[in-house]
Chains A and B, each alone.
Chain A
Amino acid sequence: MNNDNWLDDIRNKMTDFELDEPSGLWERIETHRADRQQITPINRNGHRRGAVLSWLVAATLLTAIMLSGLHFFKPESKVDMTAARLAKDVSDNTLISPVNSEQNLAQTLPQSIGNRISRANTLTAAVCQASQSSSAAQLTDDEPANQNPAGKDNENAENSETSPSADNACNRINTEYAESTVSASDSHNVRERVSVGIFTSGSIGNGMSGPSNNSGNKSLSGLMSDPTKNPDDGPVVQSQAPESGSSNTRNSKMQHHQPIRVGLTVAYPISPRLSLESGLTYSRLRSDVDATEANISFSGEQTLHYIGIPLNLKCRLASVNRLEFYASAGILAEKCVVGKLSGHKFINDQAGAEENTDIHEKRLQWSLNAAAGAQLSITPDLGIFIEPGISYYPDNGSDISSIYKDRPLNFNLNLGLRLTLGK
């Protein structure tokens, strides 16, 4: 039986209790209201939209700063979209004179662009020489341009100067191939490469609170035990929970804060549209704890640190310019690696010293996850993404109360950065 049932009854009674209004109150409010600010029309979603927008802008700015740093230190970071477009424009001239275009390109564009286009021309020319029946489509499918190491690019660039002049068909192939190479945002080849993503995640909505009459929370049971029952004056925190059916009853209340998650994932393409994604995640779950048992009460904080391994199947849905939409679903296995319960215990009026106890949880916490995502390519290799999603945490039979256990269905929002790696 709960010792605080009478308080629950009082709470229920008070929640529904009403009293007559003070006389003349509305008239007073009317008078004062006229002197104050005019009430603006209600926009129930405006505040939330504004908050989300502010958050997105802040996140985008942060990401942009990170990108700038990464971009600066990346050897090929000189390849920007402006240069790519310029290369594309210039490469169109290869329909008329490919060799001249290459030479001009090498002088006017960053070396890597020039190398890529030169290499494209070389490959195409070689294929045309070997077999006039080879099609452009086959060439682009079989030989993604950006899978070639930079060193080889240089060799190819040199070789291209000694290539025999190509016929119009080959020139056309040259152009198409060069375009597909340079304009990475239009190319599926880029998306078929392995990508690495880092992200941070937060739940959508407020944290939650509620009474928890779970007498099995082992760490709480330890802290709630009466120290006077420890004749050896040892540690107050006991490592074992009271036995089931114990006469000790407890009313505990936990308020869960929004979990925070960061992760590093790697996606490996298994088809042009599908890719498998896995990696490593870290999650922190924090809850405020208040518990009472007879004349003993405890107030503190529970913090759980989880390391997880996700496995997701991602499906690319559509691409519009530099924006790509995708959906993903999968599972996440998480293990609580560190857990702590810290706070103060009070016996009647006497507050004890701060007490800490470790929380041990051996069970794995599984979750089923689904998300819809949008990725914006900042450069051919780098993109920022946003993934609203939903997660379901099945009960793993743990005694530890957490937001996973008390609110199995969670909405979350991932924000991150994805780097696509070539071979």
Chain B
Amino acid sequence: MNTADNEHDLLQLIGNNEPAALRLMYSRYIRHLTAVCSRYIRNDEDAKDVLQESFLKIFGSIDRFVYKGEGSLKAWVTKILVNEALKFISRSGRLDFSPISEENTDIGDDQPETADIPAAIIHDFIRQLPDGYRIVFNLYAIEGKSHREIASMLGIRESTSASQLHRAKALLASKIREYINRRSS
């Protein structure tokens, strides 16, 4: 059984049409992609559909992937997944960018202390954000997209992206502070 310690070796196995190579690729990235997908898609069955479609796309276009060093393959598969997730959200018409009324949008002067909070908790808090907030927050804060890029990807205005991000940050900060208070009390 061939093994692949790094992305380059993995790509070589795939290039050599090794029967187990695609399964190896799946195993390498599925846990990461599941976590990413569930940040965008809240419903588990929908997330499963998106993951399936993403892997089919990844396997179908791997021959066009250009290797740019270790980590580039992971970045590429993540990008495909995020695109598929956005397509799914767009198709399902679930993306609503209207602000929630009576919501506290003040992030506060002090930034929330996140160092001691487990990643699973943070992940859960992000998943609890309303759809529009969550999508923009994921794209901006996690994927590193600019408001201009987000506006282009989602077909919204830059101002909408900026306001959604601001509200997402305020809500997330509030959840984190509540968690810290609960834990300390």
Contacts and interface: CB of A to CB of B under 8 A. Distances in A.
Contacts of A25: 30, 48, 51-52, 55
A142 interface: no
A344 B160 CA distance: 11
Given A44-B66, A290-B147, A349-B99, A344 B60 contact: no
B86 interface: no
Nearest to B176: A6
A137 interface: no
A225 B148 CA distance: 21
Interface string A399-416: 000000000000000000
B167 interface: yes
Contact of B166 (A26, A209, A349): A349
Contacts of A19: 31, 34-35, 38, 123
Contacts of B142: 10-11, 14-15
B56 interface: yes
Interface string B78-119: 000000000000000000000100000111000111110001
Interface string B1-43: 0000000000100111100001100100011101100110000
B135 interface: no
A40 B15 CA distance: 8
Contact of A209 (B107, B146, B159): B146
A5 interface: yes
Contacts of B140: 290
Q: For chain B, which range describes its interface: under 10, 10 to 19, 20 to 34, or 35 or more residues?
A: 35 or more
A10 B141 contact: yes
B171 interface: no
A13 interface: yes
B122 A29 contact: no
Contacts of A37: 60
A405 B120 CA distance: 38
B62 interface: yes
A41 B22 CA distance: 12
Contacts of B48: 22, 25, 28
B147 to A, nearest CB: 4
Interface stretch (A104-112, A163-171, A295-303): A295-303
Contacts of B34: 18-22
A288 interface: yes
Contacts of A161: none
A297 B55 contact: no
Interface string A85-102: 000000000000000000
B32 A18 contact: yes
Interface string B147-185: 111000000011101110111010011001000000000
Q: Is the interface of B mostly helix, strand, loop or mixed?
A: helix
A423 interface: no
A36 B165 CA distance: 39
Nearest to A51: B66
A13 B120 CA distance: 9
Contacts of A16: 119
A43 B63 contact: yes
A253 interface: yes
A362 interface: no
Interface in A257-302: 288-290, 295, 297, 299, 301
B132 to A, nearest CB: 13
A44 B111 contact: no
A326 B27 CA distance: 49
B123 A351 contact: no
Nearest to B32: A18
Contacts of A209: 144, 146
A42 interface: yes
A10 B114 contact: yes
A46 to B, nearest CB: 7
Given A13-B122, A47-B66, A41 B15 contact: yes
A43 B39 CA distance: 33
B96 to A, nearest CB: 16
Contacts of B111: 3-6
Contacts of B66: 44-45, 47-48
Residue among A17, A20, A288 having the largest count of chain B Cβ atoms under 10 Å: A17
Interface of A: 3-7, 9-11, 13-22, 25-26, 28-29, 32-33, 36-37, 39-48, 209, 253, 255, 288-290, 295, 297, 299, 301, 343-344, 346, 348-349, 351
Given A29-B26, A37-B60, 11 more contacts: A7-B169, A15-B142, A17-B120, A21-B30, A28-B52, A33-B56, A209-B146, A255-B149, A301-B148, A346-B162, A349-B166
6 contacts: A25-B55, A33-B56, A288-B148, A290-B146, A299-B161, A301-B148
